[in-house]
Amino acid sequence: MFGETIDYHILRPFTHGRNRATEVELNERARYSTYSLEEASKYLKKVKQVYFGGLFPIDPDISYLDIGCGMGRLSIGLSLAGAKNVTGIDIIARNIDEAKNISENLTNNSRPDFIHSDVHEWNSDRKFDVVIVLGAMEHIHDPASFLKMLARLIKPEGRAFVSFEPFQGPIGDHMSHFFWLPIPWRGILFSEKAIMRLRREKFRPTDPVERYKDVQGGLNQMWYEDYIRYVHEAGLEFVKHNCNPQLRYRFRYLPFHLISKFLTSIPKIRGFFIVSDYSILKHGE
């Protein structure tokens, strides 16, 4: 807005250091479970009912690929629900280590297969009934190529369940972990260098990156209109959109979700009001 130095001093009073951690500390935490099997089951229920309106299939006889699986919460939830063919992949090694540790608590014989890899470098000849991309789309460094790969991974009658948080949305910079006040549109209003400087001071002191795209996991700064275009260029089409379902879930008795529904239906401005879009994709006709 006003340059790195001024923006830094404007934003600094609104930050905190409660989540500050070094890479060594983060790796140490990954040795211990951060969620229970019960929480994994609850998360699966939330994904099905809230994020995808009851359309997410849970079936022991179909195959699942969970791209950007993180610590494996959804993959493990699927296994607990009886799914026998679940694969999770994530670029961050400690996430996969934790997912494997937690999956050891499963008493059935259908534990997920967890893979540590950059999805851009991962090759698979398999096709899946369900491909899941939750919390990862905005971190893919080449989303156009990724969506084309996604199309190849889905069986002809399969579906992809994808979430996307556009960069121009209210919290699209993904820097809320060290701000006590959720300043909307922070990433497009204020200097990237100022926010990265605060990130080093308040959140990740041993991660010296200066650009969004270089943080661990990356942030591609993709806008909503680009996402829509890349989906169609990949030969996919939308079955359903569910924009900002968390508003309807958290404020079901207030009009926020109705206002959100209106604003996110206006093509030229909708991306600025989308916190998250949960979409179901299929192969185009």
Could you tell me which of 184, 174, 173 has the C-alpha nearest to residue 263? 184
Does residue 253 register a pLDDT over 60?
no
Q: Residue 121: exposed, middle, or buried by beta-carbon count in 10 A (0-12, 13-18, 19+)?
A: exposed
Whole-number Å distance between alpha carbons of 150 and 154: 7
Tens of pLDDT, residue by residue over 11-56, are 999 999 999 998 888 887 777 777 889 999 999 999 999 999 899 9
In the structure encoding, which two tokens stand for residue 221, read together? 């700064």
Which H or E element spans position 248? helix 245-250
Residue 202 is predicted with a pLDDT of 95
Mapping DSSP to helix (H, G, I), strand (E, B) and coil, where does residue 22 land?
A: coil
Q: Which residue has the tokens 């006040």?
A: 181
Percent over 70 (pLDDT), the chain: 97
Edge to edge, the sheet with strand 113-116 lists 113-116, 85-90, 63-67, 128-133, 154-164, 277-283, 236-243
Confirm if 178 and 199 have CB atoms less than 8 A apart.
Answer: yes
In the structure encoding, which two tokens stand for residue 207, read together? 């991660």
Mapping DSSP to helix (H, G, I), strand (E, B) and coil, where does residue 165 land?
A: coil
| Position 249 confidence tier, pLDDT thresholds 50, 70, 90 | low
Percent over 90 (pLDDT), the chain: 69
Mapping DSSP to helix (H, G, I), strand (E, B) and coil, where does residue 137 land?
A: helix
In this structure, the number of other CB atoms found within 10 A of the CB of residue 147 comes to 24
Mapping DSSP to helix (H, G, I), strand (E, B) and coil, where does residue 246 land?
A: helix
Residue 254 is predicted with a pLDDT of 67
Average pLDDT for 81-103: 91
Residue 247 is predicted with a pLDDT of 77
Write the CB contacts of 129 (distance below 8 Å, at least 6 apart in sequence): 57, 59, 62, 63, 64, 155, 157, 158, 159
Which H or E element spans position 46? helix 37-46
Mapping DSSP to helix (H, G, I), strand (E, B) and coil, where does residue 277 land?
A: strand
Whole-number Å distance between alpha carbons of 274 and 262: 11
Which residue ranges form the domains of the chain, and what is each CATH number? 4-283 (3.40.50.150)
Mapping DSSP to helix (H, G, I), strand (E, B) and coil, where does residue 78 land?
A: helix
Q: Which long-range contacts (CB under 8 A, 24 or more apart) does 12-15 make?
A: 12/198, 14/179, 14/180, 14/181, 14/183, 15/178, 15/179, 15/180, 15/198, 15/201, 15/202
In the structure encoding, which two tokens stand for residue 185, read together? 């549109």
Is the pTM higher than 0.85? The answer reads: yes
Tens of pLDDT, residue by residue over 171-224, are 999 999 999 998 999 999 999 999 999 999 999 999 888 999 998 778 999 999
